[in-house]
Structure 1
Amino acid sequence: MPREAEISLVERDFIQKALEEGVRLDGRDFNAFRPVELTFGDEFGVADVQLGKTRVIVRVSVDVAVPPPERKFDGVFQIITEFSPMASPAFEVGRPTDAEVILSRVLEKAIRRSNALDTESLCIIAGLKCFALRADVHVVDHDGGLIDASCIAVMAALQHFRRPDVIVEGEKAIVLSAREREPIPLSILHQPLSVTFSYYEEGNIFLVDADLAEEQVRQGEIIVTMNRHGEICQINKYGGAPVDPLDLLNLNNIALQKVKDMSKFIQQKLDEDAKRRDAGGLMAELSAENAR
């Protein structure tokens, strides 16, 4: 099975000694993210996130389906992850790696199980028809920070997506096209985002958003998922080194500030995209000349 190219012992020692002296190879502060870029596609529900050299593209799609018997008043929402072989030599189609399994589990708990999306709003006719929403996560380039980048991309795509409107007549539902009626944004209850901390030297050093080289050197990681209100959705710890409870509280405070900043960033990009889409609509209407 293909494996990720491991760094040499010399590189490993160099990174560890640099961290002991308070220096990261790219010059960032220990609590700093790499530059984040967020762009939206021409279609609603397509988000492209670049976190340093890591790139994740999420596409949200919708279809009409039958709701599960045990949840007749809910819609269906699922998150599918796909690792492209061009992103890393360790990824192979049909053979999920540990990174892919962890990413799927974290996204499932952070977004779907935390009820970030109001699935009841996806119900069309109770027990008969509902909207089935699907978020496809495509990892295009991998240089560390996959979970944080994927969480940003999924939440941005969900907020950007618009579902078609429907007309219900008895047990018959008519799905309207975008030309017939303007699509409707999803009902988002809260916006969970994750912050990954990598720890070194038995938990004495913590880094935010480690790149691939730093991830290969770390002893473990702590993934904190919360929304901008400080409500914790989940905390995951991988690795054998113990972590002091006071350090964990400090990490939560750092994560809260990062989540607040990232939430503002996502909203700013959504507003910019909305203005861009409306430029040919409202502005053109206001500048139109009177036919008389």
Structure 2
Amino acid sequence: MLNADIVSECERDFVKSTICEGKRVDGRASRESRPVSLVFGLDRGCCIAALGGTKVLVQVSCELTVPKPSRPNEGNLIVNFELSPMAAPNFEPGRLGDYGVEISRLLERCVRDSQCIDLESLCLVAGEKAWSIRVDIQVLNHCGNVCECASIATIAALLHARRPNVTVEGNEIIVHDERDSVSVPIRMHHHPYCVSFAFYEAGGEILVDPTELEEKVADGVLTVGANGRQEICVLHQRGCIMRKEQVLLCTRLAMVRAKNLTEIIKQEVQKDEEARKKGNPVGFAAHLLEDTDQVMIAEPSVLDMDDVEEVVEVEEVEVEDKDEDDTGRRKRGAGKSSKVLSNVKVFLEGVGTAAIGRGGPSTWDVLEDGAGAEDISQAVSRKDNGGDNGANVDSDSSEEEEVTMLKDEDFSAKGDKGDVDPGGATKEPRRGWYARQPF
């Protein structure tokens, strides 16, 4: 099954023409990024970062392992990146593909190879025991610029994570429980982020934080790994060739972006720490409750419609009773038009939303049971065999059956065996088609 991500020519032309006019599809400026939101889980080191519609979940865990023989005095940092069809339908389950492998390598170079974590502080006994930090990254929704969103979630989860406190007595290592001893934060040297830029018209147009559609249509993408100290950690380019001036401009923008992201993440981590100290509810469930409380509820208001008049044409219908010979006729007389003031009330439900009228109890009449049998017309469907009883109602010419209306005289008549005898059932019940004496 072909699972390719295809962009139509109409979408491609529309996006490029919009960018050439100095605009973007989502209404942002060329150097404007989407809003960033962070939500921390109940457990330490769990974070969901959202960059517009792109969402990434990161979980940081640690365990005691044997350090590498080449570096016996350092711990280990493992970055695991996963893509699934949950993020986008064009991703295959169990396979990263070229796009996933590219992002995974970028995150490893930005987080692990930049030495943002003090690996020596993770060592307990040289050559014997050291902490191994594992960072699991799962993309929840892909709406463009996954690399930057994943780097934001990774740094936020590392700042939020804690490792258990450890006591070393000779050759014995005691790992204390979090309830008995205060956990220790992970020591970090700096906070790098991957900032992406999209190029169009051979580098003439540069967009910050491209969306999924903008990434597909772009002539080239430049990813800059920078921190708040104005240091470049990673520089990755794919697509068209870029000039020196463009690369320098992107690096300066990435440094400013990294500084702003560091401030945002530290503020959110501080808020979570204060909430845990005060005993307030934390985690994803608490965040959902906060979102529910913060929803703006607009009370419905009534508009005054007394000044509005509505002219309604009323047509009176007079019906004469039927004559005894079923030759009654209906006579309709046009009634006089009357002006009726409208009492309709319009209720405002919210911004740009209104409703006419309110619901209430049902005004439908309840059908009465026990209808008389004499009021029900009896109909018999039979084939066209030239019968004379009743009035035949002509049906469609293509049908072979006709509907015959029977009168009361037909049921009371007595004659041949084929006639209906209503009193026969009460006098003597018949057996049916078989003989009275079968033997």
Alpha-carbon displacement from aligned partner over 1:103-152 (angstroms, at most 9, x marks no partner)? 11101111100000011111011111111110000011111110000000
1:276 aligned counterpart, secondary structure: helix
User: 1:53 aligned to 2:50?
Assistant: no
2:319 aligns with: none
The 8 Å contact of residues 34 and 209 in structure 2, kept in 1 or not, is answered as: yes
Looking at structure 1, the residues matched to 5 and 100 of structure 2 have their Cα atoms a distance apart, in angstroms, of 17
Q: How does 1:1-292 map to 2 (within 5 A)?
A: 3-239=3-239, 241-280=240-279
Looking at structure 1, the residues matched to 129 and 195 of structure 2 have their Cα atoms a distance apart, in angstroms, of 37
Alpha-carbon displacement from aligned partner over 1:220-256 (angstroms, at most 9, x marks no partner)? 11001111010110111011x2211011111111111
Looking at structure 2, the residues matched to 115 and 44 of structure 1 have their Cα atoms a distance apart, in angstroms, of 22
Looking at structure 1, the residues matched to 170 and 127 of structure 2 have their Cα atoms a distance apart, in angstroms, of 13
Looking at structure 1, the residues matched to 24 and 94 of structure 2 have their Cα atoms a distance apart, in angstroms, of 36
TM, length-normalised to structure 1: 0.93
- Of structures 1 and 2, the one with the larger relative CO (CA 8 A, separation 6+) is 1
Deviation of the 1:2 alpha carbon:
5.0
1:55 aligned counterpart, secondary structure: strand
Looking at structure 1, the residues matched to 49 and 6 of structure 2 have their Cα atoms a distance apart, in angstroms, of 25
Looking at structure 1, the residues matched to 93 and 23 of structure 2 have their Cα atoms a distance apart, in angstroms, of 37
State the superposition RMSD in angstroms. Answer: 1.2
Letter in 1 for 2:225: T
Unpaired segments ≥5 residues, structure 2: 281-439
Deviation of the 1:267 alpha carbon:
0.8
2:48 aligned counterpart, secondary structure: strand
Identity over aligned pairs, percent: 38
Alpha-carbon displacement from aligned partner over 1:1-36 (angstroms, at most 9, x marks no partner)? 653432210111011000000010111011111121
The structure carrying a bigger helix percent of its residues is 1
Looking at structure 2, the residues matched to 37 and 2 of structure 1 have their Cα atoms a distance apart, in angstroms, of 35
2:361 aligns with: none
Letter in 2 for 1:267: K
Looking at structure 2, the residues matched to 156 and 81 of structure 1 have their Cα atoms a distance apart, in angstroms, of 16
How many pairs align? Answer: 280
1:93 aligned counterpart, secondary structure: coil
The 8 Å contact of residues 83 and 95 in structure 2, kept in 1 or not, is answered as: no
1:44 aligned counterpart, secondary structure: coil
Letter in 2 for 1:84: S
Flag the structure with larger Rg: 2
Letter in 2 for 1:116: C
Unpaired segments ≥5 residues, structure 1: 282-292
The 8 Å contact of residues 4 and 88 in structure 1, kept in 2 or not, is answered as: no
The 8 Å contact of residues 58 and 136 in structure 2, kept in 1 or not, is answered as: yes
2:307 aligns with: none
Alpha-carbon displacement from aligned partner over 1:245-292 (angstroms, at most 9, x marks no partner)? 0111111111111111111111111111111111129xxxxxxxxxxx
The 8 Å contact of residues 145 and 210 in structure 1, kept in 2 or not, is answered as: yes
Looking at structure 1, the residues matched to 255 and 95 of structure 2 have their Cα atoms a distance apart, in angstroms, of 35
Letter in 2 for 1:270: V
Looking at structure 1, the residues matched to 182 and 232 of structure 2 have their Cα atoms a distance apart, in angstroms, of 35
2:384 aligns with: none
Distance 1:200 1:221, change over 3 A: same
2:31 aligned counterpart, secondary structure: coil
TM, length-normalised to structure 2: 0.63
The 8 Å contact of residues 2 and 92 in structure 1, kept in 2 or not, is answered as: no
Deviation of the 1:84 alpha carbon:
2.2
Deviation of the 1:93 alpha carbon:
2.5
The 8 Å contact of residues 2 and 89 in structure 1, kept in 2 or not, is answered as: no
Deviation of the 1:171 alpha carbon:
1.5
Runs of 4+ more than 3 Å apart:
1-5
Letter in 1 for 2:233: C
Letter in 2 for 1:30: S
Looking at structure 2, the residues matched to 197 and 31 of structure 1 have their Cα atoms a distance apart, in angstroms, of 9
1:181 aligned counterpart, secondary structure: coil
Looking at structure 2, the residues matched to 94 and 14 of structure 1 have their Cα atoms a distance apart, in angstroms, of 34
Alpha-carbon displacement from aligned partner over 1:30-65 (angstroms, at most 9, x marks no partner)? 111112111111111001011111110000001111
Deviation of the 1:69 alpha carbon:
0.9
